[in-house]
Chains A and B, each alone.
Chain A
Amino acid sequence: MERIRERVIQIYGNLVSLLQKCIFCILSVGPIPNHIAFIMDGNRRFTKKCKLMEGAGHKIGFSALMSMLKYCYEFGVRYVTVYAFSIENFKRSPEEVQSLMDLMLEKIEEILKEQSIVNRYGVRVIFSGNLKLLSEPVRLAAERAMLATAKNSKAVLSICVAYTSTNEIMHAVQESCEEKWDEITLLNSSGAGYGLISLGGYEQDEMDHLIKLTDIEKHMYMAAAPDPDIIIRTSGETRLSNFLLWQSANCYLYSPSVLWPEIGFRQFLWAILNFQQIHFYLDKQRKQS
């Protein structure tokens, strides 16, 4: 009896998989997004809604993330970014922050294992954010994961931890200023600069353009990935909460009302279909920038 049940479940699983593959086949006739970003909102609400133990929502949320990554990479999306932990989240209770950090540590170790999704799809993992704000064990695990997957080149997973857009912009501006200063100091010391900065050797006009937009953009934490095509935020909330504000100028924002642990193939499909409907318009906007 037990074996028959298992067999039925297996056949059902295979059929669902086949159906998904067929759907992807049809959809790939149209434009495939290059980069999808996820704001994984609603884990705590899910825990409350299903009356689970604290932290269970986040664990189920992690499996939901694995399924979404599978759909993305199977469909051919090269870059996926997820908003795992915001700098603002540090304001939560120390117990909650600690349990999230522990979960992150546990899951980083898990994805580095042999049969994990990262190795199956050749995914390079990048941790974007102010990693100095993380505790030592988490930061070291993150750096280990980045090193271990550095050679993978089929797809990229950017995990934003200790990240906010404003912090990213600020960091990029600081790095640009420090780099420009070093450049000028080098020019000065080699005699070519003629003490440009201190003696007011630049024209006012030039001074306003020392730091260029390209300098700032190359120092962003997310510089390794192109601008996102779709940002999906679950729980029906319509704000970006300081996520990819700089990069989302021509990006389709989709806010399904499901909570993150409940997200599935249906929402992924709907996001892709809507993206394909307006792709022509967004592409035109991007080319005009």
Chain B
Amino acid sequence: MDFSNESRVLHRCSAQIGNLLLLSLWHLVHSIISICNFTLDIANVLESYLISSGLLGRYKSLHIAKLRYLAIVIESEEAYQTSKIIELLQWLEAVGVKHVCLYDKEGILKKSKDFILENLDGAIWFQDAHENNVLLDQQHMTLEFVSFSDGKEAVAKAANVLFMKYSKSGVTDQNQKEKIFTESQMSEALKTVGSGGPEPDLLLVYGPARCHLGFPAWRIKYTEIVHMGPLKSMNYGSLIKAIYKFTMVRQNYGK
């Protein structure tokens, strides 16, 4: 009886020691990973300085025409830093990017829209420039402001538009059904509810993780998604590198 008690206590102690050991090993592994990531970050920063100073030849000329529409996802907490965002947009203007979509989950950027447009010379709002879904070759840069509500909720609103069409048409007619529920009809419906922007070619994520944070699903079918790190450590060199890498990509589109 005494022995079984003691063995139980021993068992519990050894289990606790085992757990502590595992916990410390886990923390050790993650510290090593953090150090690895930190060294990689330093290497990236050095490379960006080299790129910014123009020492690396291949980044000097970008085929910027390949980048027709650029989207930028910003972590909502960092979206308050409008001066940083304006600086980023000025770099993009300098590089020659004409059409930019700014996204943040909570719509903070939408609220700062007027401030950004005022402080960025020669930029106009996408809705004002937009005519019949043809992106006119502008002298000015167009800016679109998107948030989480332009994603799933917009699809729900578009579904209601299609439902109205469905209920008005001959519901039992299979042909009619096939004409209404198509991807192009959905795109039209999304435009009707105000969430029908073009599909970006490249999406830059400024945040702690490579995650698109709810950017409208309908628009990112074949969009290249690149993680740029937090907005506070943004730099010109890594922006150029990301755009350069994009221009080098070749897509099969499934074929």
Contact = CB atoms under 8 A, between A and B. Distances in A.
B254 A89 contact: yes
Interface residues of B, number: 52
Contacts of B164: 207
A50 interface: no
B212 A25 contact: no
A248 B156 CA distance: 18
Nearest to B167: A197
B182 A170 contact: yes
A277 B182 CA distance: 41
B222 to A, nearest CB: 5
Contacts of B251: 239
B55 interface: no
Nearest to B215: A249
Interface in B12-49: 22-23, 25-26, 29-30, 33-34, 37
Interface in B195-219: 208-214, 217-218
B105 A288 contact: yes
Interface stretch (B1-9, B60-68, B80-88, B223-231): B223-231
Given A173-B181, A253-B225, A207 B160 contact: yes
Contacts of A30: 26, 30
Nearest to A212: B156
Contacts, number: 147
B182 A250 contact: no
Contacts of B213: 249-250, 285
B186 interface: yes
Contacts of A138: none
A240 B182 CA distance: 21
A240 B253 CA distance: 11
B183 to A, nearest CB: 5
Interface string B149-166: 001110111111011101
A281 B209 contact: yes
A115 interface: no
Interface string A91-107: 11000000000000000
Contact of A211 (B160, B177, B218, B226): B160
A254 interface: yes
A213 B152 contact: yes
Interface string A238-254: 11111001101111111
Interface in A35-50: none
A165 B221 contact: yes
B148 interface: yes
A177 B159 contact: yes
B255 interface: yes
Interface string A152-169: 000000000000111101
A29 B22 contact: yes
27 contacts: A26-B26, A27-B29, A89-B254, A91-B254, A92-B254, A169-B217, A169-B218, A176-B163, A177-B166, A209-B160, A210-B160, A211-B160, A211-B163, A237-B249, A238-B249, A239-B223, A240-B223, A241-B254, A246-B217, A249-B211, A250-B213, A253-B225, A254-B210, A276-B30, A277-B30, A285-B105, A289-B214
Given A30-B30, A173-B158, A285-B211, 14 more contacts: A29-B25, A91-B254, A165-B217, A170-B183, A177-B166, A181-B163, A210-B160, A216-B156, A238-B224, A238-B249, A273-B29, A273-B30, A278-B208, A289-B214
